[in-house]
Each structure stands twice: as C-alpha cells, then as structure tokens.
C-alpha cells in the first residue's frame, strides 16, 4: 500500500469544518491564520530546528517566548540567552555531532535556554528531568555518551573530551536523544535528527493552527519527547511557552485557576491527565492535543466540547507523533492519517500488508524515523520491510486497522491478554469502562492471584459504585470476562504523565464482595466462600475453582468451612462440581444440617409393645410345644406320668419337632399372616410390621435355614408362594415377605440378606427384590428392597444393591458399583450333569438327618454319666438332683463328644473339597454344604470353644492348618482349603469364601493367610485370596486377591490405608509367659462349662416342672403351664447373664488392654453367657421388642424409649447410648471395642434419637450418630466419626448421601456414581 499523504487535504477540510462549526467566541478575531512557516514553504528544502527558531525570532522578537515562574523572556532575549550558552559550549569544544546532557530545573527559563543553546552549538541535547534521581540521570548520560551535562545555572559539567566537529550544522545531525523505557525496563536512547524534527514541526503546523498570541502549556517532563512538541508548538509559531510546576499539572483542584491565571490557550498532553481535568478548567483552552496513550471515545468527546481537539499517535522512535486525527464528537476517536513525510503500513506477522479493514501491526517509515543509539538494537527494530521496499521501517508493536476515515487504534500487541482462556484487548475493556456514566478515567490490567492465575481488574476514577460499573460492563463483554472493578481516587501516573500500569494497586486495599448479581442464596454465600480462598475475584456461576487458582489445600479449606452448613460435603465434591453453580446446586441437594429432626414418638407405641409381647408369648408357646413332645415322649418311654399314646406323640413330633413339620409351620405362618404384602413405606408401629416381625422370629426359631443350599430349597420356597425359577440355586432361603422372585438358573449363595425390609427412622421400608435368570449373588450380599438384578448379572460377595443392575453386568461394593462384565471368571458352557447326582441329592437328606443325630448322640455320654452316678432314670427327682450336681460334667461330656464326633466326620468329608471348577450337583458341592452346616452348628453348640485356647487344637484335629499363637473366633468357612499362619487373628464372623457358585458351577480356590495378620469382624475373603504377613483387614472389608505384606485394607471394596501399628508389650500379646497361658486356660474352662451347666440346670428344671405338672394335673395343665415354665426359665437365664455381667465385670469403661489380660477373658465369659443362655432361652424371641430394651438397660446401657434393637452384637453395654426411637437393624453391630495389634481398646458409641443403623452395619468405638441421621446397610462408621443430625450415609466406610436420595422401595434408585465421595 503506497504511503497516503492526504493529511493536508483532510486537515484542510477538517479545519474548514472546525471554522464553520467553531464557536464564534473562540474563532480567531485578530491576526489571520498563520500559514506554513516562513522559510519552509518548500518542504523539499529540508531545514533544521534552528532554521525554524531563527525564523520565529525574526518575526516575533518582541513577543514573549517563555513565561516561566523565574523569568519572562521574549524571543529576542531567549535567542540571546541561547547564543550565550552555545558560545560557552563551543568554547569547550562542543559542536555538531556531539551530545550534551541537560539536567536543569524544570519550569525554569534556564532549561529552555540550555536546550536551545545546545542546539545552537550544533550538538544534540539529551534531557533528563531534574526531578529524576541522579542514578537514572547517570545511566542515561552514560548510555547516550554525552560529553558533558548542562546543569545548575547553565554550566557544563564535563564528562569527557568533546569530539565536536567544527563545521556547520547539517540537517542530518541529531537534534535530541531521548530515552524511552521499554518493556524490559532498561531505557533505550532514540536519536532524532534535525531533518526529522523540523519535518515534525512543519507537519504539525499543517494540521492545526497556533497563533503568535497563543500561550502553550509546557507541563510534560522534559525527559519525554512530547515536551518537544510543547516547545515547538510555541517556538514554531511565535506563541508563548508557559512552563507549569509539576504539582500543579497533576493536581485537580489547583490546575483550573492556574490555567486561567496564566491564560493558557493551547495544551498538549496525555489522555490520563486530561481525564482528570474538569471542563471549567479548560475554559480558555482552544486547542488541545492528546497523545501518548489511547484516548477513549467518551473522554475525547468530552474534551472536544468547546475546543479543537486532536488525537495524535506516535512512538518516540518516529519523532513524537506519526499520525493525527481531529476528534469529532459522536465519531469514534481515531489516530487518523500520517503526518506529511511519514509513511505507515499495516502488516501481519510475516510482514505483508493486510487488506483494508483488517487489523495488523502498524509499521512506520518516512522522514520521521529516528535511530537507536544502540546499533544492534537499531538493526533489529528498524529492520527493512521487503514487502514494501522500505530500507528502514519501525515496527510499532501497536495493532491498528485502516478504515475509510483513517487508522483506528486496536491495541498494543502486548496488551492482548488471555483471561479464562479467551484473548482480550485491555483497550476494549478500558473503553467500555470509560463508557459507563460517571466514569472519568479507566484502566484495565491483568493481575495475578496468589496462586499465579490471572484475574482481569478494571480501575475507574469517578463518582461511581464498583458493583454498578461491573454490572454495566458485564453486559457488554463476553461472559465470564467481566472484570473485577476497583474505584480509585486517581490513576497512578508515570513520570511522563502517562498511566503507570505497574503502579495499579494490587491486591486491592480492601476486600471486594461477590459482584455477580445473578447469584442468589446458596450461590451467593458460596461465592463469598470462594473469595475467601481464592482472593479477590470476579466470581460468576461459571467460575471454576481450580482454574481460578484454587489448590487442593484451598479446596480442603473450602470444604471445612462448607461443612459448617452442609455437613455431608466432601473434597471430592469440589473436584466433581468444579464450577460455582454446579457446586451450589449440589450443596442444595445435600441439605443443610438439622434439616430433618427426629420424628416424634408414636402414641401407638405402647399398644404395639403389648402386641409384641403377646407375640413373644406365642413364640414361647411354640417352643413349649416342642418341650411338651419331649417330656411326653419320656413319659411314654419310661412309663411314668401321663401317657398319651405313641400315635399322638409321633404326630406331635412330626408337627413341631421334625424338620418337615417346622418348615410347614413357617409355610403356614407366611401364607396366613403375610398374604398380599405389597412394597411400600409403613408405620413402624403398625400391624404389618408386627406380623413381619413375628414371622421372622418364628422362621428363626424353626430353623428352616437348614434347608438353604439343599436341592429342596426351591421347592420349599414355591410352597411358601415365592416365585423361584427352574434350576435356581438357593443358598439362602427367600424372605418371609414373599417379595423375592428368582429367575431360572439364578444362584443365591449362602447368607445373602434378601429380607427386603428394614426399619428407617419410624418407618418400615419394604420392597420387592428381583434376581434375574442366570444371575449370581455372592455370599453376604445385602439386597435392599427395590433391587433388580438383571439376567446373568453377577454381584460380588459383600455388596449392597438397592437399585437396578443391568443384564450381564458385574457389580461390587457397598454401595455397589459397576466393575465389569459378568461371567469373565467362569466357564462359558453349562456343566454336564454329574454321574451320581441322584445319590448326592439323597445325601442332602442324610446330611440333615446326621446333624440331628449328632446332637442326640453327643447327649448320650451325659446320660451315661448319670447312669454311672447311679441315678434312677425313672425317677424325675433323682434325675433332677443328680443333674444339678453333675451339670458341669454333663456339659463337658457333651462338648467333648460333639467336638470329637464333628471333627471325625469333617476329617472324612473335607478331603472331598477339591480345588477347581466342578458341577454343583456332585460330591464337592455336597461336601461344602454339609461341612459348612456342621461348622455352623458348632458355632452355636461349641460357641465357647471359639476365641479360646482350645479352638486351635480342635481345628487341627479336624484338619485345618492353623499356625501357632493364632487366635480364631467364630469364622465362617474354615476348612483344609484355608491355611493360616502364626500369630494371626481372625475375629468374629469373618467369612472365608473358598467356594463360589454360578450357573451350575462351583468354583473352589484355597485361601492363604500369612503370619501376624489381623482380619476384622465381618470381613470377607473371596476364593483365591492370598494375604501376606503383617496385614490388616478392617471390619466388614473385602481385601483384594493378593496383598503384599504389611498392607492395611478397609472398605468394600477395600482401599489400602497405611497405618502405624501399635507395638504393645509382647509378653501380653504374642509371647505370654506360662502362667498367663495357664490362667487363661482355666478361665476359659470356666467359660466352656458355666453357661452350659446353667442351661442344663434350667432345662432340667423345666423338665421336672412339666413332669410334675403332668403327673399331678394332667396333660392339659402341663400344656398350659409349659409356656410359663419356659418363660420363667428364660427369665432365669437372662437374670443369670445380668448377674454375671455385674459380678464379673462391673461397669465397662473406655480402656486399653492387651490380648493376654484377664479383662478380655472376663469379657468373653459374659459374651458366652449372653450367647448361650440369654439368647437361647429368651432373647432370640424377644429381639426388637421392648424386652430387649429392658435387657440392655439391665446390662448397663443407656436406652431411651421405643428403641428397635434387632441384634445381639453388643458387648460393652455401659458404653452404649441409644436415644428415644433409635433403630438398630438386624445383624448390625455396636462395636464398642477394637482389637487389632492384639490390643483391645474400648470406647463409647451413641445412637441418637430417631437415628437408624442399617442391617449388617457397624459403628466403631467413639462414634456418635446424631438424632434422625440414617446409616444404610453394610456400612461402617469409623472410629471417632460423628454423623450430623438429619443426614444420610451409606458405604464401607460411610459416605454422605444426598438428602433427596432415598432408598425407595419398588422404585428404582440410581446406582451411585463411580466416584464415591470419601
């Protein structure tokens, strides 16, 4: 694009416009317009500044040239003074080509005389503002290589020998060298020749008119080239130059009067300064030239009211000004067209010109180009522009756009910033800020927060509110780019008077509140919390916490504050909901603390309690019937008492004592009492809840679970009315509610909780469960009401399902999560049927019979003992008295016989447990079922053997490999497939699932447990698990298949949680002295025999009482008295347990005791009494009734009113607190002690009013459930945790649930997201 030189044309036209529209009062009235300079009419004859000055002096020698505070000089006097200076300089050898520094007091006539003097001498002057520090002056003078410095009263301080040439001044000699600071900070010297300077003066005169009677303000620092413009505005035309004190120029209030007093009519300044001036200050100013910075439209229009205003643009490197344009109100402020002699081009990054209208970098050529004193820098910055054929071209670094009306300034290339990923021109932001009503001046900058991220800040000056400005600007800028607005009294200025961007205050002096008006409620509150963490920030709903500079520590701090209001929030929530809006929404969903209160106690509860007690009596009646049959049988056999005949006796036995009879009773109860039960939420104190409770207890009493795992289980289920498909394997029997449907070929492994109902708060929640065809549900899973398991799906052991599982999917965990495809670890085809399957099917029956026979057989030695003692078996009284005395002996013989018999049988059966994959209708499956059934019975009948010294020898006798020193409690699944190392610890109810079943296959893999490894209560080890040494598996956890030594695991699925093991005294934990071993053996002997003996005595008592009743009053009286007799016996058992607790233990307190302590042995005695006496004789029937609460209180617990307590897994009673209406569901555990590291620690646990502990869940010591909070099934509340009131939790370990996320029966609750909040 050729250089366009229409300046004159346009300037002419604009001047005409101005003349036409100008206010008559300011229109020139006296001298006519002064045309171009005399002597410079012909621009071809290049001239020097001195030529210009001489011409002015010649024409105006009597006019005032300089009106300074310390002197007024006419042109003649000024010229004379300059000449004097020049002579002095020349005498010292200064001449053309030389440089002289000028360091004179600003505002003084001497400064200007000095400058002109240096020029007259032919040298270039290098000005430094006298107010600048000497160090800076020295740097500049050194950089410019001046020979000396004019200072003080115009004396030259020589720095070196002048090299001045004695010749005439040439136009290409330097006129001045002015230093400009760049982005790197080190100032660069720009040398401008006379040719350029003179061309500049001449070009400006063509644009506007300055008359000899004008008075020009000299307010800018002499260090800056704009001061040259000021000087030559005056000296080029004969006007007076009026220097102003620096303070006056910067001040607002003082300037106005000063301008008037000094009659200033022409000002050249920067927009930032001009913005501070009111209109009335500029009343006499008729020509205003702004430059040096971008001038906002509004400012330009405001200044243009009543005067001629020009906007100029140009870098120091191209002699002060390169382009100019008049400011016309209503039209955008442009930089216009180049000065006469200047050439400009707009190029792209490669240096090629861009089309008209597109933006690019402005490149300047022509007569105005200066020169860097640093040659190397000069060659780079003034490199040629080949595209246009320019030998020298200065790249301005400014982005402009050419339009039909002139060039428009877009922005500094460096001022394009990136905010929130978007490119943004700071200039645009500034322009918009300026456009706001009331804003006088504005600046924008990209500041950094403490964490190094950018935040856009707008600074405004004016009588405005920051929030209002921001609201207006936010409407216009792209979303998310609205700046943080700060209102300042004034914008910081650099020495040049230009805006000093670096001095914009940051961080702001006082905190700024969230200013996005769209945020409401939780969002607004959350925005303030964001600002607390992130620093002052413009926060909108889209603000991303981490993108705005939040670290993980900041997120954790944010969460700790949020928890005050939303107790369930976790750090992972912030990662998952990164924007403020999403997080606010999530918080609202979580619900605030205390939102739910405990439901009031139901008025129906006392009536309901009475109904339950009747139910208990009914259950007693059933047990009594069994006793009746036994007593009558004895009578018949021995020929004493009432004899009813064999037929009724056998009928009675078949009905109430035989396995089929018991099963039929349960079938009848279900069909009668629970007909037509539908899913839903019911009142806890309602008739349905009562019926369900009763039938559950009855089913337990009748021990129908013995049928589970047998081939007849599905038939039994169908008899009860359940929908069980063809070929389904039921290792667990369907629930009494009848709401379970099992598809064809589905497999339910053992001990799966499919009850389908639980108590939450004051409601019975009942739901339907569907297990699809071919699906597999692993052992110890919990299927909540509403669970729908798709065809072929697989649920890993220990998982909790409360929603829909798709077909063919494999889920695992509490709560269950999708983990893969089902069937991966299984053979693809169905197994072929075993050769002897009919035989093995029959063996199930044999197995059931054997179990009963074993018990009876073990009682035989006891009878033999009596015989040996000479007891007359015919006489009841003699039996009675002998029994009381011989009870311990009888107990011992029973235990020994049973133990030996079981061991022998297991030795015989266990070898059939072969590792590998087998069909489930053969020997392996039967052997599993039978051995497990036997072991199950030992956990009841040989209960005191477990967790004692005697269990290990017995297990070894049966064939299990257990290392020395290992403690074994009631573990499910022990067999030769399990090998346990030394000094390990297997606690209560650990499940070693060596076998898994699906689709007709049973897959068996051994389990290996290393040395010194602790496995917590309820933990499940799946088949093939190998645990290393020194491992720890937490309560209810499912460790991975392989774990390295020394690792600790907690959760379902288990996460590795490194922990510091305690190292208590080995003498009390791992290597006890003999005397401790002996003491323990003795105490445990007591534990083995005492409860059993009491049972024998109680049993004998019942037997004797019934016998007497029968003999005395007949069968009917006996039948009527039987329940009462049993009730009394039960009461006696419970009383004994309570007495034992208080006598042996006293009050439980929080403490720490190593394993080999009498405390633990005493604890075990009480626990055994509870299990073998209280439970068997009474509590099994009284679970979840007010009698349980009474029992707990008697044992020392603090129990409120109307508590539902459906478990016996509680040991340290005094440490337990249950509030009114608290609910503890079946199989839940109040674990008030921990025993890892072989150190028992006890601590209190509290369940608040109306709080719920779900089925199979555990609370550890030092926990507190606040009122109305709810913990789901199979969850763990860890030590020290407090769950706030009204909140809902689920998981191992517990994680918060959203307030609205309910376990809705019948409906499908969503499966929980894969990322579980920790």
490-493-495 Cα angle (round to 5)? 155
Nearest alpha-carbon partner for 305 in 23, 15, 13: 23
Choice between 557 and 681, CB closer to other proteins: 557
Structure tokens at 387: 């595209």
Asked if residues 1242 and 1260 have their Cβ atoms less than 8 Å apart, the reply is no
Could you tell me where the beta strands, DSSP code E, fall in 472-587? 484-488
Collapsing DSSP to helix, strand or coil, 1046 comes out as coil
1100-1101-1103 Cα angle (round to 5)? 65
- Is the four-CA dihedral 106, 111, 115, 118 of positive or negative sign? negative
Q: What is the dihedral of CA 566, 567, 571, 576, to 10 degrees?
A: -50
Choice between 1112 and 1318, CB closer to other proteins: 1318
Q: Considering the complex, what minimum distance in angstroms separates the CB of residue 1044 from other proteins?
A: 6
Choice between 1002 and 1032, CB closer to other proteins: 1032
Q: Considering the complex, what minimum distance in angstroms separates the CB of residue 395 from other proteins?
A: 22
- Between strands 155-158 and 148-151, the pairing is antiparallel
Determine the Cα–Cα distance for residues 1127 and 619; give it in Å rounded to an integer.
Answer: 10
Choice between 225 and 1237, CB closer to other proteins: 1237
Q: Considering the complex, what minimum distance in angstroms separates the CB of residue 570 from other proteins?
A: 7
Determine the Cα–Cα distance for residues 1305 and 783; give it in Å rounded to an integer.
Answer: 11
Collapsing DSSP to helix, strand or coil, 1001 comes out as strand
Q: Name beta bridge partners: 1217.
A: 1198, 1246
Q: Considering the complex, what minimum distance in angstroms separates the CB of residue 989 from other proteins?
A: 23
Q: Considering the complex, what minimum distance in angstroms separates the CB of residue 797 from other proteins?
A: 21
Q: Name beta bridge partners: 918.
A: 1002
Choice between 373 and 1047, CB closer to other proteins: 1047
Asked if residues 1157 and 1170 have their Cβ atoms less than 8 Å apart, the reply is no
Q: Considering the complex, what minimum distance in angstroms separates the CB of residue 1224 from other proteins?
A: 23
Asked if residues 789 and 806 have their Cβ atoms less than 8 Å apart, the reply is no
Asked if residues 14 and 326 have their Cβ atoms less than 8 Å apart, the reply is yes
Half-sphere exposure of 172 (CA within 13 A, CB side): 0
Choice between 158 and 563, CB closer to other proteins: 563
DSSP 509-536: SS------TT--THHHHHHHHHHHHH-S
Determine the Cα–Cα distance for residues 483 and 456; give it in Å rounded to an integer.
Answer: 5
Q: Considering the complex, what minimum distance in angstroms separates the CB of residue 1032 from other proteins?
A: 9
Choice between 246 and 501, CB closer to other proteins: 501
Say how many C-beta atoms besides its own lie within 10 A of residue 775's C-beta.
28
Choice between 365 and 1028, CB closer to other proteins: 1028
Q: Considering the complex, what minimum distance in angstroms separates the CB of residue 1021 from other proteins?
A: 19
Q: Considering the complex, what minimum distance in angstroms separates the CB of residue 1314 from other proteins?
A: 10
Chain centroid offset of residue 732 CA: 40
Determine the Cα–Cα distance for residues 170 and 181; give it in Å rounded to an integer.
Answer: 29
Give, in order, the Cα–Cα distances in Å from 810 to each of 320, 495, 749, 824, 856.
Answer: 77, 73, 15, 9, 45
Asked if residues 924 and 918 have their Cβ atoms less than 8 Å apart, the reply is yes
Nearest alpha-carbon partner for 1021 in 1010, 1035, 1011, 1007: 1007
Choice between 401 and 412, CB closer to other proteins: 412
Q: Considering the complex, what minimum distance in angstroms separates the CB of residue 454 from other proteins?
A: 8
Q: Which helix (H) or strand (E) holds 800?
A: strand 800-801
1255-1258-1260 Cα angle (round to 5)? 165
Q: Considering the complex, what minimum distance in angstroms separates the CB of residue 116 from other proteins?
A: 46
Q: Considering the complex, what minimum distance in angstroms separates the CB of residue 452 from other proteins?
A: 3
- Between strands 995-998 and 1001-1004, the pairing is antiparallel
Choice between 377 and 1315, CB closer to other proteins: 1315
Q: Considering the complex, what minimum distance in angstroms separates the CB of residue 567 from other proteins?
A: 11
Q: Which helix (H) or strand (E) holds 852?
A: helix 837-868
Q: Which helix (H) or strand (E) holds 991?
A: strand 991-992
Q: Considering the complex, what minimum distance in angstroms separates the CB of residue 1050 from other proteins?
A: 8
Choice between 453 and 994, CB closer to other proteins: 453
3-state secondary structure 617-640: HHHHHHHHHHHHHHHHHHHHHHCC
Choice between 511 and 868, CB closer to other proteins: 511
Choice between 5 and 1056, CB closer to other proteins: 1056
Q: Considering the complex, what minimum distance in angstroms separates the CB of residue 546 from other proteins?
A: 11
Determine the Cα–Cα distance for residues 1055 and 1050; give it in Å rounded to an integer.
Answer: 5
Chain centroid offset of residue 1031 CA: 30
Which residues would be at the binding site for other proteins (CB under 8 A)?
Answer: 451-453, 551-553, 556-557, 559-561, 563-564, 570-572, 575, 1030, 1044-1048, 1050, 1055-1061, 1262, 1278-1281, 1293, 1315-1318
Nearest alpha-carbon partner for 407 in 4, 2, 16: 4
Q: Considering the complex, what minimum distance in angstroms separates the CB of residue 985 from other proteins?
A: 17
Choice between 360 and 1293, CB closer to other proteins: 1293
Choice between 108 and 1043, CB closer to other proteins: 1043
Q: Considering the complex, what minimum distance in angstroms separates the CB of residue 1056 from other proteins?
A: 6
Q: Name beta bridge partners: 337.
A: 324
Choice between 799 and 1013, CB closer to other proteins: 1013
Choice between 107 and 550, CB closer to other proteins: 550
Choice between 1097 and 1258, CB closer to other proteins: 1258
Q: Considering the complex, what minimum distance in angstroms separates the CB of residue 587 from other proteins?
A: 16
């Amino acid at each position: 694009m050729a250089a366009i030189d229409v300046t004159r044309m346009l300037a002419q036209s604009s001047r005409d416009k101005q003349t036409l529209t100008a206010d008559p009062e300011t229109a020139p009235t006296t001298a006519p317009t002064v045309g171009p300079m005399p002597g410079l009419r012909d621009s071809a004859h290049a001239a020097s500044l001195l030529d210009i000055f001489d011409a002015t002096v010649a024409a105006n020698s009597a006019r005032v040239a300089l009106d300074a505070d310390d002197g007024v000089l006419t042109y003649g006097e000024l010229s004379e003074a300059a000449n004097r200076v020049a002579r002095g300089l020349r005498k010292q050898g200064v001449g053309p080509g030389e440089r002289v520094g000028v360091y004179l007091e600003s505002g003084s006539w001497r400064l200007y005389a000095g400058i002109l003097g240096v020029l007259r001498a032919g040298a270039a002057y290098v000005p430094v503002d006298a107010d600048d520090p000497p160090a800076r002056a020295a740097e500049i003078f050194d950089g410019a290589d001046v020979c000396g410095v004019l200072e003080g009263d115009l004396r030259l301080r020589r720095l070196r020998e002048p090299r001045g040439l004695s010749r005439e001044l040439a136009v290409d000699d330097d006129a001045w060298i002015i230093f400009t600071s760049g982005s790197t900070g080190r100032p660069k010297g720009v040398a401008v020749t006379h040719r350029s300077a003179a061309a500049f003066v001449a070009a400006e005169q063509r644009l506007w008119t300055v008359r000899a009677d004008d008075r020009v303000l000299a307010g800018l620092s002499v260090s800056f080239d704009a001061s040259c413009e000021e000087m030559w505005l005056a000296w080029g035309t004969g006007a007076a130059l009026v220097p102003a004190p620096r303070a006056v120029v910067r001040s607002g209030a003082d300037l106005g009067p000063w301008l008037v007093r000094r009659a200033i009519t022409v000002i050249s300044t920067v927009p930032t300064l001009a913005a501070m001036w009111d209109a009335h200050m500029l009343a006499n100013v008729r020509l205003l030239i702004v430059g040096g910075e971008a001038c906002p439209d509004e400012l330009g229009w405001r200044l243009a009211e009543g005067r001629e205003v020009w906007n100029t643009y140009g870098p120091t490197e191209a002699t002060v000004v390169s382009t100019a344009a008049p400011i016309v109100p209503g039209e955008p402020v442009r930089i216009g067209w180049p000065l006469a002699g200047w050439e400009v081009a707009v190029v792209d990054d490669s240096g090629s010109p861009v089309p008209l209208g597109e933006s690019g970098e402005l490149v300047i050529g022509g007569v105005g180009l200066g020169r860097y004193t640093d040659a190397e820098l000069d060659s780079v910055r003034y490199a040629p522009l080949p595209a246009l054929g320019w030998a020298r071209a200065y790249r301005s670094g400014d982005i402009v756009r050419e339009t039909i009306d002139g060039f428009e300034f877009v922005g500094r290339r460096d001022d394009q910033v990136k905010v929130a990923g978007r490119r943004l021109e700071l200039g645009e932001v500034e322009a918009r800020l300026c456009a706001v009503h009331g804003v006088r001046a504005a600046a924008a900058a990209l500041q950094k927060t403490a964490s190094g991220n950018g935040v856009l800040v707008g600074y405004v000056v004016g009588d405005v509110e920051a929030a209002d400005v921001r609201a207006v600007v936010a409407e216009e800028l792209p979303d998310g780019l609205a700046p943080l607005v700060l209102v300042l009294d004034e914008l910081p200025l650099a020495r040049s008077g230009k805006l000093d961007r670096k001095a914009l205050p940051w961080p702001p002096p006082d905190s700024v509140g969230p200013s996005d008006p769209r945020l409401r409620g939780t969002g607004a509150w959350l925005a303030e919390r964001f600002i607390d963490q992130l620093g002052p920030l413009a926060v909108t709903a889209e603000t991303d916490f981490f993108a705005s500079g939040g670290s993980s520590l900041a997120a954790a701090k944010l969460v700790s504050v949020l928890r005050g209001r939303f107790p369930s929030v976790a750090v992972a929530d912030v990662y998952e909901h990164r924007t403020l809006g999403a997080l606010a929404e999530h918080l609202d969903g979580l619900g605030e603390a205390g939102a739910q209160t405990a439901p009031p106690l139901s008025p129906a509860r006392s009536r309901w309690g009475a109904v339950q007690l009747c139910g208990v009596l009914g259950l007693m009646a059933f047990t009594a019937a069994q006793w009746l049959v036994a007593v009558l049988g004895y009578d018949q056999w021995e020929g004493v008492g009432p004899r009813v005949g064999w037929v009724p006796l056998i009928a009675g036995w078949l009905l109430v004592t035989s396995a089929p009879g018991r099963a039929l009773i349960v079938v009848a109860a279900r069909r009668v009492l629970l007909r037509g039960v539908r899913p839903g939420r019911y009142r806890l104190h309602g008739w349905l809840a009562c019926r369900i409770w009763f039938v559950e207890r009855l089913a337990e009493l009748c021990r129908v679970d013995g049928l589970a795992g047998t081939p007849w289980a599905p038939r039994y289920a169908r008899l009860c009315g359940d929908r069980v498909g063809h070929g389904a394997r039921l290792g667990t029997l369907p629930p009494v509610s009848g709401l379970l449907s099992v598809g064809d070929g589905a497999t339910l492994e053992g001990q799966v909780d499919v009850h389908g109902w639980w108590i939450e708060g004051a409601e019975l929640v009942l739901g339907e469960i569907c297990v699809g065809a071919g699906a597999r549900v692993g052992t110890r899973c919990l299927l909540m009401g509403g669970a729908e398991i798709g065809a072929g799906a697989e649920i890993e052991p220990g998982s909790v399902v409360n929603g829909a599982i798709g077909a063919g999917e494999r889920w695992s965990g509490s709560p269950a999560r999708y983990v893969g495809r089902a069937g991966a670890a299984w053979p693809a085809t169905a197994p072929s049927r075993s050769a002897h399957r009919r035989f093995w099917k029959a063996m199930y029956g044999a197995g059931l019979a054997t179990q009963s026979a074993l018990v009876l057989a073990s009682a035989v030695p006891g009878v033999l003992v009596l015989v040996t003692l000479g007891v007359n078996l015919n006489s009841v009284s003699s039996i009675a008295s002998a029994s009381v005395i011989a009870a311990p002996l009888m107990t011992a013989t029973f235990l020994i016989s049973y133990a030996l018999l079981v061991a022998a049988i297991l030795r015989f059966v266990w070898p059939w447990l072969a590792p590998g994959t087998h069909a489930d209708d053969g020997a392996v499956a039967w052997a599993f079922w039978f051995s497990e059934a036997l072991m199950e019975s030992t956990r009841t009948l040989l209960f005191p053997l477990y967790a004692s010294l005697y269990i290990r020898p017995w297990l070894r006798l049966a064939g299990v490999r257990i290392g020395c020193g290992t403690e074994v409690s009631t573990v499910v699944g022990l067999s030769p497939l399990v090998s346990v190392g030394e000094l390990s610890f297997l606690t209560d109810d650990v499940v070693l699932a060596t076998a898994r079943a699906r689709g007709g296959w049973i897959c068996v893999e051994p389990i290996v447990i290393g040395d010194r490894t602790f496995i917590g209560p309820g933990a499940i080890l799946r088949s093939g698990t190998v645990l290393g040494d020194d491992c720890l598996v937490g309560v209810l956890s499912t460790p991975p298949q392989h774990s390295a030594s020394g690792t600790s695991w907690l959760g379902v699925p288990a996460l590795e949680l490194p922990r510091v093991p305690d190292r208590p005294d080995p003498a009390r934990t791992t290597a006890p002295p003999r005397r401790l071993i002996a003491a323990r053996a003795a105490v445990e002997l007591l534990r083995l025999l005492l409860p059993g003996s009491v049972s024998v005595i109680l049993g004998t008592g019942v037997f004797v009482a019934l016998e007497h009743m029968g003999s005395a009053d007949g069968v009917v009286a006996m039948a009527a008295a039987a329940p009462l007799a049993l009730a009394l016996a039960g009461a006696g058992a419970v009383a004994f347990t309570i007495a034992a607790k208080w006598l042996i233990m006293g009050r439980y307190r929080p403490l720490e005791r190593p394993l080999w302590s009498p405390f633990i042995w005493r604890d075990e005695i009480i626990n055994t009494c509870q299990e073998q006496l209280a439970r068997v004789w009474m509590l099994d029937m009284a679970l979840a009734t007010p009698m349980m609460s009474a029992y707990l209180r008697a044992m020392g617990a603090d129990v409120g009113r109307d508590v539902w307590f459906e478990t016996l897994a509680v040991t340290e009673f005094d440490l337990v607190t249950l509030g009114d209406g608290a609910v503890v569901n079946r199989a839940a555990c109040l674990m008030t002690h921990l025993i890892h590291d072989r150190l028992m620690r006890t601590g209190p646990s509290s369940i608040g009013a109306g709080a719920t502990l779900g089925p199979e869940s555990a609370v550890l010591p030092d926990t507190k459930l606040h009122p109305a909070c709810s913990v789901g099934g199979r969850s763990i509340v860890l030590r020290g945790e407090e769950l706030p009131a009204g909140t809902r939790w689920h998981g191992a370990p517990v994680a918060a649930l959203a307030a609205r996320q309910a376990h809705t029966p019948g409906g499908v609750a969503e499966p929980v997201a894969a990322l579980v909040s920790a």
